[in-house]
Structure 1
Amino acid sequence: MSFTEQSELVARDEAPGPMGRDTLEKRVFRATAVVLATVAAAYVLWLLVDLLLLLFACALVSLILLTITDAIRRRTRLPFGVSLGIAVLGLLALIGGSIWFFGATLQGEFAELASRLPSAWASVQQRMAASPVGAAIMERAQGLAPSGQTVVTAATTALAAVGGALSGLAIVLIGGLYLAAQPTLYGVGLLRLIPTAARGPAAETLDAISVSLRNWLKGQALGMLFVGVATGLGLWLAGVPAAWAIGLVAGLAEFVPYLGILVAGIPAIVLGFGQGTDTGLWTIGVLIAVQQIQGNLVMPLLQNRMVDLPPAVTIFGIIAAGILFGVPGVLLATPLTIVVLVLVRRLYLHEDKEEVLESGDEPSPPVPVPAEE
């Protein structure tokens, strides 16, 4: 059920109240109260920004589950609860099966990656030290190297961040499942907080945000799959050790646009040059080719499944989210940018919902809802 339909449901449930006399004193008092409440609310929201980011991540997970559930219902006409259960069990089976099927191979590749990186880096240092330019670069780099205490502190902070990330991931998955299980309950509750006069436009704006995020998630999933497979295959053909492990990291990191190639590029290049100059050059060529094919061929083909985000907007959105919210902001930067763009087009440019969604897929046809649901 879309937010617009939920808004109509709320309007039917609410009876109009008696009209009272509106004096100047009441208007001034009401305006003052609104201003003070807005300032107080903005301050409280800033204090709760981590909680809001966590809630936004839960909403993304629920959108993924609801998208799969709607697809199952359109094809099978099963009840909502059964379709959601199939979607959750299917995802768990897919993840578990992938771990079981590829787990041993990937474990060996990651172990090889960890064992080969130090020796490969030492080989790269020896090659650079053999030339005057490389020796000068290494000398400057050693001067910029952090102290041992700094490394220990950074490692401790990183381990604590990993622990927090794992607990946050568990909360996001469980919270997303709860939101997906009762979308009408939470949607109607949200719309009841909005004044009656603004409820219809607000519902259309929420619908536009929901459809835009669904479109982005569809295209991003295909883009991540392409980057992971293409990077792993290309590095394997180039003779780089642990190629598929690097490809997996590149595919997962591509959830943040342009991050996958950067994250996978550093260990891939080090391992490539550790094997030899030719392998290192081939490694650079593979990474550049994957990035160019994705940017100039794959992503344009997926534009009908994605929100049309200009690259500059995406990059500056990632930077802004990182400055404001840290690492969680970077991970959620692109969907947050989509939300901001939809709000700007709806509230500032006053575009209709159809104009906002014209660059993406049309919303899926509604699934017939039984009377008891």
Structure 2
Amino acid sequence: MARKADESGDRQFVRRVLIVLGLGALFILAWQLRTLLLMFFGAIVVATVFRAFGDRLEKAIGCRNGIAVALSITTILGLAVGLIALFGSHVAEQVEILRRTLPVAWHAFEARMGDLGLGDQIKHIAQSIRAPGGSSLSAFAGTVLSIGSGIADVIVVIVAGVFLATQPRFYLTGAVKLIPPAKRSLALEAVSESENALRLWLRGQLIAMVVVGLLTGLGLWALGMPSAFVLGLMAGVLEFIPFIGPILSTIPAILLALAVGPDQALWVLLLYFAVQQFEGYILTPLVQQYAVDLPGVILLFALIAFGILFGTLGVILAAPLTVVAYVLVKRLYVIEVLHTPTPIPGETKG
């Protein structure tokens, strides 16, 4: 009996060691494939956009869901291609002007700071941003400044998003089968709540991006700024990234304005400040029905953490990742494990 007990204990120990080793190997594999996993989440975000618009079309024209989603994908991609065809050459021309004038504007900025006795400090800040090492915040700054690359990755994400949007039930059923049967209904409920919160956040964010981009572009055009269209487009796109995005969109405009003169730079700075104040105090309350209430501190530190850990793609997807993670933690841990009632973001909004 003692021998059998020892053998059983040995088998139990070996089994636990193998489980630990397997989990460790799985973690290492996931870390090595972290960029791919983030791209998969990006495809989920794209699919959510397609399906949200498809649901609107289904209610509006009364067609089947599959047809509505197909119309949604065709409409959104067709609109994107049409905009590129109409304004692509104009955007490319302004981007080229921006590429040529920004270095000149930066040198003019350095010269002005040198006249004020701040030249060495500005050079030190610029070197810390360019440096491959440095502190975590300087690495994060270098990451966010490289946004704009990875066109091939974007295409892959869009194609994968199309597949996910057309057959969501197929992929969701396959994923849920990996979960123990007793917890599958809970998993489906958590996924549904996460999707609802993500849809609401994307809807509100899209409205903010369009309004901020239009106001910024028109304001810069009125001020006589070069590349006003591209700078407005940049402001709208970077609005997708909380906190950091508006700051990043302001930098090239200020540099270009400084090449003209301090007065122009002041007017441009006031324009960006006014647009952000309008977005914060007027636009946000108007779209409050689409808002997902997230603690600002959590979103800020999540943005920095994802940027340091995963690079540019982590910065871009930090906000939607935080929305989904926040809902899952509340639903699966706070409510189910701790048995503490707590509101789920977006659960009372349609």
Distance 1:30 1:65, change over 3 A: farther
Q: Distance in 2 between matches of 1:87 and 1:350?
A: 35
What's the CA shift for 1:167? 1.7
Equivalent in 344, 347, 350 of residue 356 of structure 1: 344
State the AA in 2 paired with 1:334.
Answer: A
Kept after mapping to 2: 8 A contact 1:308/1:359: no
Q: Distance in 1 between matches of 2:82 and 2:313?
A: 29
Distance 1:142 1:48, change over 3 A: closer
Q: What aligned pairs does 1:116-265 form with structure 2 within 5 A after superposition?
A: 116-129=101-114, 131=115, 134=116, 136-142=117-123, 146=127, 165-265=150-250
Partner of 2:325: 340
Equivalent in 61, 65, 70 of residue 55 of structure 2: 70
Q: How many residues align?
A: 326
Equivalent in 289, 304, 317 of residue 319 of structure 1: 304
What's the CA shift for 1:175? 0.8
Distance 1:330 1:125, change over 3 A: closer
What's the CA shift for 1:59? 0.9
State the AA in 2 paired with 1:85.
Answer: A
What's the CA shift for 1:126? 4.2
**Which stretches in structure 2 are left out of the alignment for 5+ residues?**
1-7, 133-141
Equivalent in 21, 35, 59 of residue 44 of structure 2: 59
State the AA in 1 paired with 2:109.
Answer: V
State the AA in 2 paired with 1:361.
Answer: K
State the AA in 2 paired with 1:138.
Answer: G
SS in 1 for 2:118: helix
CA RMSD of aligned residues (A): 3.2
Equivalent in 262, 277, 280 of residue 292 of structure 1: 277
Partner of 2:26: 41
Partner deviation per Cα, 1:298-347 (whole Å, 9 max, x = no partner): 22332321211122221111011112222221111111111221122112
Kept after mapping to 2: 8 A contact 1:303/1:360: no
Distance 1:31 1:205, change over 3 A: farther
Kept after mapping to 2: 8 A contact 1:215/1:360: no
Q: Distance in 1 between matches of 2:148 and 2:323?
A: 29
Distance 1:37 1:198, change over 3 A: farther
SS in 2 for 1:349: helix
Q: Distance in 2 between matches of 1:309 and 1:123?
A: 41
Partner deviation per Cα, 1:30-51 (whole Å, 9 max, x = no partner): 9847666544433432333222
Q: Distance in 2 between matches of 1:293 and 1:35?
A: 53
What's the CA shift for 1:359? 6.0
Moved more, 34-43 or 195-204: 34-43
Q: Distance in 1 between matches of 2:26 and 2:53?
A: 35
Distance 1:118 1:37, change over 3 A: closer
Partner of 2:135: none
TM-score (norm 1): 0.77
Q: Distance in 1 between matches of 2:47 and 2:186?
A: 23
Kept after mapping to 2: 8 A contact 1:321/1:330: yes
Q: What aligned pairs does 1:23-42 form with structure 2 within 5 A after superposition?
A: 32=16, 37-42=22-27
What's the CA shift for 1:188? 1.1
TM-score (norm 2): 0.82
Partner of 2:137: none
Kept after mapping to 2: 8 A contact 1:62/1:177: yes
Distance 1:316 1:146, change over 3 A: closer
SS in 2 for 1:356: coil
SS in 1 for 2:298: helix
What's the CA shift for 1:56? 0.8
